[in-house]
């Protein structure tokens, strides 16, 4: 019993959500790769200060929380255009998470969007449930925004509108 208890107290879950998007990977990438649009895609993000047009590896961004207006460092680590975006979010000392969006072409057309999150730090277990909920909602918000932009323009990657639906 003691090893199981130790395992439960020392490990944190890896959170994973998968949604199907009725738009090609290029259209989904256009949505997730623009920090100015993140507030329309993430329930707890109120915006990104001095957001660049598109993400680049090594960028250090500052997101502003919602509803609390906390300034949160976001480090862009992995950028594979139209395939993968990985960032690390540092909420507070001892509390943060790694977030990854993977875009896979669907065999039936469109995109399989996989959003994975890994809570990190001393208080990671406390973050697991809110992070699970936020990534579930966020994945669906990305799917809706990418589909709407693709249907509106009919072209992948033609959006770039920071005020997504």
Please write down the HEC assignment for all residues of 17-74. EEEEECCCHHHHHHHHCCHHHHHHCCCCEEEEECCCCCCCCCCEEEEEECCCCCEEEE
> How much is the pLDDT for 91?
87
Between 52 and 143, residue with greater pLDDT: 143
Sequence-distant (6+) residues with CB within 8 A of 13 are 119, 128, 132
Assign 163 a pLDDT band (cuts: 50, 70, 90): very low
Report the 10 Å Cβ neighbour count for 142.
26
> How much is the pLDDT for 11?
64
pLDDT of 159 above 50: no
Q: What is the mean pLDDT of residues 18-38?
A: 94
Query: What average pLDDT does the chain have?
Result: 86
Assign 70 a pLDDT band (cuts: 50, 70, 90): confident
Question: For the whole model, what pTM was predicted?
Answer: 0.84
> How much is the pLDDT for 10?
59
Class of domain 13-153: alpha beta
Q: What is the mean pLDDT of residues 118-138?
A: 89
Domain boundaries, the chain: 13-153
**Least confident range of 40-54, 85-99, 135-149:** 40-54
CA distance readout (Å), 2 to 12, 125, 151? 17, 18, 55
pLDDT of 88 above 60: yes
> How much is the pLDDT for 160?
46
CA 160 to chain centre: 17
With a pLDDT cut of 90, the percent of the chain lying above it is: 59
Instruction: Tell me the sheet residues that pair with 136.
Output: none
**Least confident range of 4-13, 17-26, 105-114, 123-132:** 4-13
Assign 2 a pLDDT band (cuts: 50, 70, 90): low
């Amino acid at each position: 019993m003691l090893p199981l208890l130790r395992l439960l107290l020392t490990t944190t879950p890896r959170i994973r959500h998968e949604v199907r998007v009725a738009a090609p990977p290029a259209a989904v990438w256009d949505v997730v790769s623009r920090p100015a649009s993140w507030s329309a895609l993430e329930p707890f993000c109120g915006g990104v200060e001095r957001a660049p047009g598109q993400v680049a590896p090594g960028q250090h961004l500052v997101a502003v929380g919602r509803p609390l207006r906390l300034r949160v460092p976001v480090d862009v680590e992995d950028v594979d255009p139209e395939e993968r975006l990985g960032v690390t979010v540092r909420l507070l000392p001892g509390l943060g998470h790694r977030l990854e969006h993977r875009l896979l072409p669907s065999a039936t057309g469109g995109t399989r969007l996989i959003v994975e999150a890994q809570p990190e730090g001393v208080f990671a277990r406390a973050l697991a449930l809110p992070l699970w909920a936020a990534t579930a909602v966020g994945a669906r918000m990305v799917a809706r925004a990418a589909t709407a932009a693709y249907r509106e323009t009919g072209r992948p990657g033609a959006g770039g509108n920071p005020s997504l639906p």
